[in-house]
């Protein structure tokens, strides 16, 4: 059984980071809580594919969590997304503490050799894909975007 964080897709916009990116591309404000906490509750579809395609088939049952390396705080990730989406949206930091969780990926790393890409690389690649794809649920936003940052 593989449990994953929010999947960073170019065709969906339902997890927290996807909703934030949509707001950045629309020029809307983004409000975040828990900005000072390390955050890894997301993963790229390529990382999931690479992990699954390298697993040996087995009849044994195991539960593994996949997510990003917990190396950046949520506020840093949001700032990085804003920069790479070329957005002038304000980021509003709320002191309210809301439910928050990260994924423990140590078992996947130690037992199965999972190696998540660096967070900055994952986010930068995802934002670029969303901005370049005209047929996603973000397409109404992408069509109005100005392209790469100058």
The predicted-structure confidence for 4-20, as pLDDT tens digits, reads as follows 888 998 877 789 999 99
**pLDDT score of 149 more than 70:** no
Give Cα 21 to chain centroid, integer Å: 10
pTM value surpassing 0.75? yes
The predicted-structure confidence for 103-122, as pLDDT tens digits, reads as follows 999 999 999 999 999 999 99
CA dihedral 17, 23, 29, 31 (to 10 degrees): -20
* The two structure tokens encoding residue 40: 């890894």
Q: Which residues of 33-59 are buried (b: 16+ CB within 10 A; e: fewer)?
A: bbbeebbbbbbbeebeeebeeeeeeee
Distances 3 to 23, 24, 60 between C-alpha atoms, Å:
27, 28, 16
């Amino acid at each position: 059984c593989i449990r994953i964080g929010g999947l960073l897709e170019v065709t969906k916009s339902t997890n927290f980071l996807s909703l934030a990116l949509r707001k950045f591309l629309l020029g809307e404000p983004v409000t975040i809580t828990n900005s000072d906490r390390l955050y890894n509750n997301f993963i790229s579809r390529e990382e999931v594919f690479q992990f699954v395609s390298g697993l040996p088939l087995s009849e044994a049952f195991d539960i593994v969590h996949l997510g990003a390396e917990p190396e950046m705080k949520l506020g840093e990730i949001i700032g990085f997304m804003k920069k790479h989406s070329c957005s002038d949206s304000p980021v509003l930091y709320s002191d309210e503490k809301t439910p928050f969780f990260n994924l423990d990926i140590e078992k996947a790393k130690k037992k199965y050799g999972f190696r998540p890409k660096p967070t900055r690389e994952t986010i930068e690649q995802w934002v670029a894909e969303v901005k370049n794809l005209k047929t996603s649920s973000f397409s109404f936003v992408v069509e109005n975007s100005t392209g790469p940052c100058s």
